[in-house]
Structure 1
Amino acid sequence: MAPQKQAPQNYNILIVGQAGRLQYEAILFAASLRAASPDFAGRLFVAEPQPGPLWRDDPRIKDADSRALLTDLGAEFLPFESRHFGAAYPYGNKIEALFALPKGEPFVFFDTDTLICGDLASVPFDFRRPTASLRREGTWPQIELYGPTYSQIWKSLYDRFGLDFEASLDPNQPDGYWQRYLYFNAGFFFYQCPHVFGQRFLDYALGIRDDPPRELLLQSLDPWLDQVALPLAIHALGGGRDTLPPGLLDGAVSCHYRLLPLLYAREADHVVEVLHEVTAPNKIKRVLKNYDPAKRMIYQGRGLKVRALFDQNDLPRREQVIRNTIKRNGFWMR
């Protein structure tokens, strides 16, 4: 007997948009969502920080054509106030924007520099058990000679917030190896209520920023603060590293490409095909040509020159090597 088709899940999607690069990435995200998941029935919110004392300039998207195109692609603008981070730490937008979402409704947050390349209906979200992106490198903490170990640093954070450190560990990884400790990229995360998740995320981030344990004194929190607080929030709310099947998000269904030169350098052929397909319509091309990296990388073919520099089946292990190769050949843009 054939398995019954599951009813589609209903949830909101949140990305952050503001003037500059993020407004154009928001267009790419919205266009790819509509192309790859045409049956997505939830709401797509583009959260916009509002002017205030924590911003030197007005961060909102001011270009009328960009706003109209996002609306045409089904996005809803969602204003939110910056009370704790603002221009000093713009990564904090993803925390503060959560409180503007409808309370009690499940959500998925994506970084704006993400393409949807497959059907989101194929992703079996368990909104009671949050997780985040495992496509990451061991960027934090950086262990110093004679300084605290991985275990000492991470345990100090779990102890600070009354969390079970031992339960967060991956016993399949050796002691002292960074993957033994719960660590994510904040490129996506989800939960059943944005306000509950946001409060945990905010409390931990502010606690770490304003009163870090002594074990963190040698550690940089810029730009890593969100990725240090995120695993604590996920663990506290009953989530972990294995609550989604592998290969879907940051795989067949979504691609967190970060910057267009990196997309062309290292992503699968299908991702490049999706990018070219969703940027081909004239209404999208007309707006994206105002963004120099899109104009040169996509429409003038520079991206394919970047792609030719690499064997996508045998890429350098470290992202910095990829960046340096692109820069050395004069193709770097951001």
Structure 2
Amino acid sequence: MTKTDEKIQPFNIVIVGQTNRLQYEALLFAASLHATNPDFPGRFFVAEPQPGSLWQDDPRITNAHVLDLLAEFGAEILPFENRYFGQKYPHGNKIEALAALPTGEPFVFFDTDTLITGDLTEVPFDFDRPSASNKVEGTWPKPELYGPGYTAIWKSLYDRFGLDFESSLDLGQPDEYWRRYLYFNAGFFYYKCPKLFGDRFADYAVDIKTDPPEELACQSLNPWLDQIALPLVIHSFGGGRDALPDGYLDGDYSCHYRTMPLLYARESDKVVDLLEDIAAPNRVKKVLKQYEPIKRFVFQGKGEKARALFDRDHLPRREQQIRQQLKKNGLWLR
């Protein structure tokens, strides 16, 4: 994959940063972006929820050294208010943060537990056709034996928002198999305007949460609400599963690692080498060592032990199997 001769459309990047785990993951994201995209032409925002009635404690980044390093790596702290979610559903931060971004400027949202591994200006985004991560398992819905199936559940949501259900289907997949239905991991998504996308994302998510269709009566919405609403939003703006070619994000240009144990268990040597390179400078290391999973896996050898358990060319099919093996060997930390 090489950069085309076409002029690159500038875009902004946003992740969510707050106290505890996410502030250290934000630092790793920022360091990886700085290392692989030193001349990134857009703005890089770390969206930070502000104290309010929807938070029991102050959610802002508390570590001054983290803030200093984020600034050094080009991040701008972007405060935002929670109107709908907050403490009870922190996944909602990725929805509400969009309201604070510059209106009318293309954006790419990444989950904070991501490393940037390549030049993002080479990724062929079509910001008029939104998409999101296809690195997903069939986590929702979970149809009951005598209840509505996949078709009935998903169709009820498309009908709720006046969307065409049939055009969202992958007809190459069997009926009542989860991959037939538009479903994404919300680890990244993008569009030409954060206000348009964010307003609709919030409207759909709040509507589903407060008044779910009866077909969802036996379905859990927590923590899946963002991933339930996301395909509906993407479809409503003319996007879909094939809007971005495979191999770029969640491929050669980014890695959504989820946890340190999973990173070492299943990701490539390229990803591990990048992680250890960006964590090595003393000013970075002394901050990252304050977070136990990074301390133990990157600096104290647990990562090497986790890596030795798996053949990355023949990994278990399901993430749960990897987690179980790590737990069995005392190598699971979150």
User: Do structure 1's residue 131 and structure 2's residue 131 form an aligned pair?
Assistant: yes
Give matches, 1:250-329, under 5 Å: 250-329=250-329
Residues 58-93 of structure 1: per-residue CA shift (max 9 Å, x gap)? 000111111111011100000000110000000000
Give matches, 1:141-152, under 5 Å: 141-152=141-152
Cα drift, residue 37 of structure 1 = 1.5
1:217: which partner in 2? 217
Residues 143-176 of structure 1: per-residue CA shift (max 9 Å, x gap)? 1111101000000000010000001001111111
2:237: which partner in 1? 237
**Normalising by the residue count of structure 1, what TM-score does the alignment of the two structures yield?**
0.98
Q: Any conservation in 1 of the 2:3–2:122 contact (CA below 8 Å)? A: no
Q: Any conservation in 1 of the 2:27–2:66 contact (CA below 8 Å)? A: yes
SS in 2 for 1:205: helix
User: Do structure 1's residue 86 and structure 2's residue 86 form an aligned pair?
Assistant: yes
1:177: which partner in 2? 177
Q: Any conservation in 1 of the 2:143–2:149 contact (CA below 8 Å)? A: yes
Please tell me the residue identity of whatever aligns with 2:24.
Y
User: Do structure 1's residue 100 and structure 2's residue 100 form an aligned pair?
Assistant: yes
Please tell me the residue identity of whatever aligns with 1:157.
L
1:198: which partner in 2? 198
Residues 109-154 of structure 1: per-residue CA shift (max 9 Å, x gap)? 0000000011111101100000000000000000111110100000
Q: Could you tell me how far apart the structure 2 residues matched to 1:177 and 1:113 are? A: 29
**Post-superposition, which runs of at least 4 consecutive aligned residues in structure 1 deviate over 3 A?**
none
Q: Could you tell me how far apart the structure 1 residues matched to 2:89 and 2:216 are? A: 18
Change beyond 3 A, Cα 1:49–1:4: closer
Change beyond 3 A, Cα 1:91–1:44: same
Q: Could you tell me how far apart the structure 2 residues matched to 1:331 and 1:150 are? A: 36
1:157: which partner in 2? 157
1:32: which partner in 2? 32
Which ranges of structure 2 fall in alignment gaps of 5 or more residues? none
Cα drift, residue 9 of structure 1 = 2.6
Cα drift, residue 4 of structure 1 = 6.2
User: Do structure 1's residue 13 and structure 2's residue 6 form an aligned pair?
Assistant: no
Q: Could you tell me how far apart the structure 2 residues matched to 1:185 and 1:39 are? A: 28
Please tell me the residue identity of whatever aligns with 1:110.
F
Q: Could you tell me how far apart the structure 1 residues matched to 2:152 and 2:37 are? A: 44
Q: Any conservation in 1 of the 2:158–2:164 contact (CA below 8 Å)? A: yes
**Normalising by the residue count of structure 2, what TM-score does the alignment of the two structures yield?**
0.98
Please tell me the residue identity of whatever aligns with 1:126.
D
Change beyond 3 A, Cα 1:282–1:152: same
SS in 2 for 1:129: coil
Please tell me the residue identity of whatever aligns with 1:311.
D
Q: Could you tell me how far apart the structure 1 residues matched to 2:110 and 2:214 are? A: 32
Q: Any conservation in 1 of the 2:4–2:122 contact (CA below 8 Å)? A: no
Identity of aligned residues (%): 67
Please tell me the residue identity of whatever aligns with 2:185.
N
Q: Could you tell me how far apart the structure 2 residues matched to 1:90 and 1:82 are? A: 10
Residues 7-37 of structure 1: per-residue CA shift (max 9 Å, x gap)? 2331110000000110000000000011112
Q: Could you tell me how far apart the structure 2 residues matched to 1:192 and 1:170 are? A: 25
Compute the RMSD of aligned alpha carbons: 1.1
User: Do structure 1's residue 167 and structure 2's residue 167 form an aligned pair?
Assistant: yes
Cα drift, residue 39 of structure 1 = 2.2
1:247: which partner in 2? 247
Q: How many residues align?
A: 333
